[in-house]
Amino acid sequence: MDSFNKKNGVSVRAYKGDAMTLLAFDLQTSLRNNLAGFTIQYFLKGSTEKYYIYNRLYLPDAIRTASGVPVVEKNSTLYAPIQKMNWVHVPNTNVNTQNAVFGDYVYEVTPRYIINGVLVPLDTNLTVAVEINVSPFDMKNTKIGFTRGFVSSVAYAKRFNVENNNVRPNKTDLLFDITQKADSAKRWNDTTRKYETVPYSYEEQHKWLGWQARERVLEFLDEVINDNSLSLKVLAYDLNEPEVSKKLLLLASQGRLKILLDDAGEHGEHDSLETAFATLFQAQANGNSQMVRGHYKGLAHCKVFIQMDATNKAQKVLTGSTNFSTNGLYINSNHVLIFDNPAVSERYNNYFENSFSAAKLLSIKGQEPTVLDYTFDEVGLPKMTITFAPHQKEDAQRIFDRISSRITKADTTDVLFAIMKDGSKSSILSAVKAQLKNEEVFTYGVTDTISKTAEDYEVFLYKPNTSRGIRVAAKGIENVLPPPFGKVAGISGYAIHHKFIVVNFKGANPVVYCGSSNLAFTPEQNNGDNLLEIFDKDVVTAFAIEALRLVDHFHWRNNEVKSDTTMYLDDLSNSSTAWYKAWFNPSDLKNKQRKLYIKT
């Protein structure tokens, strides 16, 4: 879903994501010189309260003084225009409740100018308004939820103790009270007009960091708990999130849970939290509740919930990359998808039943669930194909060839991605890397590994006056940032745990590849996984915005942050290097990005 409007040479397009909005801007040639950026004001339709988007960067002192900018408003985009041709906006969350306000939003975007060292007053004749719904993704019987994945961010540091990124009190207690104090942080008090040190709970951390993925996971479980006619089947790899674990154990005690829980590697150790869950399950399970601990030749790597009705028919399924763990929901960047559709759910149920014993885990490879492509193309559901691993070599090759050829197809306009690991051999990942060097295709992505020796794994960062794509890394970033940012918390574990690739967000036949598969050839033959190919513009757009959100964050951290200087917005004092020049330079990647996002 997107919305477009233009006026007097200014164009704005808004795209709906999962509880976030991508805004894209463009200007006719006569409006480009001396461009200071964009002021963005927004409000909930029907409300009289309007807000300016906050910019953590602001103009240098000399320009603010000459322009009469109030000190307390220096970060408002009214006085600190956004110096990009696009922006991802996530609704503010209350610092205490972590709740966001959703609904139909109106964004008012105005280009701003600096002339002779002064910020020119806002000209409403150039203001363009676009309206779009901002809410959790819920279309075509499909829900999507992303974690925030921003432990190592200024946004986290403003809410929580920057010295503490712990999301659980210790590594040994599976079940703990999330309402207990996690730490204390300095927060602004509007009443006293000063910063005060206040305690915060693990629940506050979890709600903020887990964002929409946490909401979807807990909501799915609560639907089962609150309807005694329903039961649940679970495929789990990591399992240690306290509220998830409590809800699963409750269902086990009521005879309403069957679970396949991985026991490979550390998961099988006697002191693992997965073993602690298994022990509690055995003590509390009643009736039809059953557990299988095991793994395929590799890992039992799926992260799946299946809702079963009173007649034992599958009705709804949750899948994705998100492990049911504190790392999966609160440290990693991850996604979940929910399909409220019996046909889709039954395919997952069939996979579950064909895996639910030690013998079946070892014999499923080459059997029906792992050799067929399950295609869905019906009204009220995204068009998609789902495959289940472990695959035989020829099936894995067939699937990988299909995806690789789509990535490198002649009509490919753009490739956007967020991938946990890119060191394993894979024709899919090789195709992505090849497109990074293709100056005809807009490529933009983030991974979680860095190699400085092998060219195949080189991290491509943006270089001015080139149109080659970029790939940024989510590890190896600095935690001490320049003024006005300060220090942010370090990342414990993977920052990027997603495994998704978007192809043709703005081209013909858009598709996103996602799910639990690591998109690597050998694991695809050994691990229990599911890989989804979704051919739906709205779903693809939501994943595209997620990729852009993450790439922009980590790219800025990797490439543009210099800890020995104070960072300001460009004051346009050097016309030859003004920030906007690249966005209108035909040989620059940013120009390609601007044209891509704004086009129909």
Average pLDDT over residues 23-32: 97
Asked if the structure places residue 564 within a domain, the reply is no
pLDDT at 453 over 60: no
State pLDDT tens for residues 411-447.
999 999 999 875 667 899 899 989 999 999 999 998 8
What Rg, from alpha-carbon coordinates, does the chain have? Answer: 24
**CA count, 13 A, side-chain hemisphere, 59:** 33
Whether residue 396 is predicted with pLDDT greater than 70 in this model: the reply is yes
Residue finishing a domain among 78, 105, 135? 135
Residue 593 lies in a domain: no
Residue 566 lies in a domain: no
Indicate if 364 and 473 belong to the same structural domain: yes
235 and 122 in one domain?
no
CATH number assigned to the domain comprising residue 90: 2.60.40.10
Same domain as 440, residue 321: yes
- In a 3-state reduction of DSSP, which class is residue 459? coil
> Does residue 599 belong to any structural domain of this protein?
no
- What pLDDT is stored for residue 456 in this prediction? 47
Regarding whether 474 and 371 lie in a shared domain, the answer is yes
Q: What is the pLDDT of residues 318-344, one digit of tens each?
A: 999 999 999 999 989 999 999 999 999
Look at 68-72, 414-418, 532-536, 554-558 and tell me which has the smallest mean pLDDT: 554-558
What is the per-residue pLDDT across 551-584, written as a single tens digit (0 to 9) for each? 888 776 665 555 556 688 999 999 889 999 999 9
Residue 99 inside a domain? The answer is yes
Q: Which two tokens stand for residue 302?
A: 């799926």
Domain co-membership, 219 together with 129: no
Q: Are residues 372 and 454 in the same domain?
A: yes
Same domain, 217 and 123: no
The answer to whether residue 432 is domain-embedded is: yes
The CATH code of the domain that includes 249 is 3.30.870.10
Question: What is the per-residue pLDDT for 483?
Answer: 56
Same domain, 354 and 215: yes
472 pLDDT above the threshold of 60:
yes
Question: Is the domain of 130 the same as that of 221?
Answer: no
**pLDDT tens-digit readout, 299-317:** 999 999 999 999 999 999 9
Query: For a pLDDT cut of 90, what percent of the chain falls above it?
Result: 77
In this model, does residue 507 exceed pLDDT 80? yes
Output the CA torsion 213→214→217→219 (10° steps). Answer: -110
> Rounded mean pLDDT of 259-284?
97
Share of the chain above pLDDT 70, in %: 92
Domain that holds residue 125: 2-135
Boundary of a domain, candidates 135, 164, 186: 135
Q: Decide if 74 is inside a domain.
A: yes
Q: Can you tell me which residue has the tokens 């409740």?
A: 97
* Domain match, 417 and 504 both: yes
Q: How confident is the model at residue 489 (pLDDT cuts 50, 70, 90)?
A: low
Q: How many independent structural domains does the chain possess?
A: 2
Residue matched to tokens 């492509």: 373
Quick one: which of 513, 422, 510 has its CA closest to 471? 422
Residue 151 half-sphere exposure, CB side, CA atoms within 13 Å? 27
Tell me which of 467 and 562 has the higher pLDDT: 467
- Quick one: 358 and 442 in the same domain? yes
Euclidean distance between the first and the last CA atom of the chain, given in angstroms as a whole number: 12
- In the prediction, which pLDDT does 552 show? 85
Q: Are residues 252 and 399 in the same domain?
A: yes
Structure letter (DSSP) for residue 77 = T
Domain-ending residue, one of 135, 166, 194: 135
| SS3 state at 66 | helix
Residue 465 has pLDDT above 60, yes or no: yes
Round to whole Å and give the CA distance between 480 and 30.
41
Per residue in 249-267, pLDDT (tens digit) is 999 999 999 999 999 999 9
Residue 53 in any domain: the answer is yes
pLDDT, one tens digit per residue, over 10-24 is 999 999 999 999 999
Q: What is the mean pLDDT of residues 211-226?
A: 97
